[in-house]
Amino acid sequence: MLTINLIRDQSSHVIERLRVKNFDATEIIDRVLELDRRRRELQTESDAIQARLNTLSREIGSMMKDGRKDDADEARRGIGTMKEQQRQLAETLEEVSSEMQNELIRLPNLPHELVAPGKSADDNVVIRSGGTVPDLDAGAAPHWDLIKKYDIIDFDLGIKITGAGFPVYKGQGARLQRALINFFLDEGGKAGYREIEPPIVVNEDSGFGTGQLPDKEGQMYHVGIDNLYLIPTAEVPITNIYRDVILDAADLPVRNIGYTPCFRREAGSWGAHVRGLNRLHQFDKVEIVQIAHPDRSYEALEEMVKHVESLLASLELPYRIIRLCGGDMSFTSAMTYDFEVWSAAQKRWLEVSSTSNFEAFQANRLKCRFREKGAKQTTLCHTLNGSALALPRIVAALLENNQTPEGIKIPAALVPYTGFGMIS
């Protein structure tokens, strides 16, 4: 959520920046400004009446103490109408405020200056790439065939136990999952991230804090009986650690990392290109989250990008890093880098990480602030997060790219974690 101050002070700048996201904010901002004006008027008026009531109450108090009961009764006269007036003002104020809030929530985050305008993924910018695209034989198999051949991931079993999109990992397949999770967590630890194991169901406040609620409610699994949500990403619980928190500037940046399963209903998004591991209802992901000083959040983003890149390099996967254009970015992001790995049999790029700076947009909802040493004022932090990494598509690429007649070769960096060098 953008801050009202920003909109009040720089409305034309906001409108201009949002055009990069193909978003016409003029109408919403007009309404917000009008509601903001009314809100402040109403509050001034309501505060004044409340101040009079408070004074009267105090006076009545001292009259009672002095035993001047008649004076007190006299003073009480007319309070009823004032209270009624005050009640109505407060009610209107509440309506106007929540209406303003509702408008404010519809505005996406402003994209950073470097973000290119654009309509779709076609306008994204490839920043750099690495690794070598393997030269496979004509008969190279897609991962959905390989997992059957080696009996390491079982979709049918998942359908039996739960439903489509809930695979069962078996034997070396399960070991590979655990190896990747541990590898990613260990690398994060070396890079200075503190490991967190958060709850994987969250309450409404948390869902709202990171922006999944109210808009994307249908994308999360909801545990109705307890009104809790299965997390779509570890970002939700880990970032919500800092909800309603005031940090010291000296504590920034805060670096956290966590592994969790992630649950996504992905309602209505099934079709071509989602075979096998490409899209699941439950998958494993290691997430990195930073809370940064506003002046240094883009350094933090760079650092995260380098970290994710180093993981892909260690896994010896061909990858490319893309900076999303305005039209392809998420609602909440100010700048996003997507990481894609080449899937040799599918012959396409698969997104395995999305790493973003949300600047103060998320922090404003979360009320995540910091204070400079000695300062009285608090300032909103910047929040960032990125996948480091999401497992299924990494596994898909590893299987496809590393297939040999003898089996599937495990990259050297991972062998200490798997305990085997070949899936066969």
Partner RNA sequence: GGAGAAAUGGCAGAGUGGUCGAUUGCGGCGGUCUUGAAAACCGUUGUCCGGGCGACUGGACCGGGGGUUCGAAUCCCUCUUUCUCCGCCA
Complex with RNA: residue 9 or 195, whichever CB lies closer: 9
Cis check: omega of the bond before 261, within 30 degrees of 0: no
Q: In the bound complex, what is the minimum distance in angstroms from residue 389's beta carbon to RNA?
A: 29
Instruction: Report d(CA 387, CA 34) in Å as an integer.
Output: 40
Q: Which residues are at the interface with RNA (CB under 7 A)?
A: 4, 36, 40, 43-44, 47-48, 50-51, 53-58, 60-62, 64-65, 76, 79-80, 83, 246, 369, 371, 374, 376, 378
| Min separation Cβ 231 and RNA, Å | 18
Count Cβ atoms below 10 Å from residue 36 Cβ, excluding itself: 19
Closest approach, Cβ 40 to RNA, in A, equals 4
| C-beta of residue 249 within 8 angstroms of C-beta of residue 264 | no
Minimum CB–partner distance for residue 350 and RNA (Å): 36
Residue 259 CB, nearest distance to RNA (Å)? 19
Residue showing tokens 């991972």: 414
In the complex with RNA, the residue whose CB is nearer, 46 or 402, is: 46
Q: Which is nearer to RNA, 30 or 156 (CB)?
A: 30
Contact indicator for 361, 109 with CB cutoff of 8 Å? yes
Smallest distance, Å, CB 43 to RNA?
4
Decide whether 13 or 52 has the Cβ nearer to RNA.
52
DSSP assignments along 331-382, one per residue: TT-SEEEEEEEEETTTTEEEEEEEEEE-THHHHHHHTEEEE-TT-SS-EEPE
Q: Spell out the long-range contacts of 29-38 with Cβ–Cβ below 8 A and sequence spacing 24 or more.
A: 29/107, 31/103, 32/4, 32/7, 32/100, 32/103, 32/104, 32/107, 33/7, 33/8, 35/96, 35/99, 35/100, 35/103, 36/4, 36/7, 36/8, 36/100, 38/96
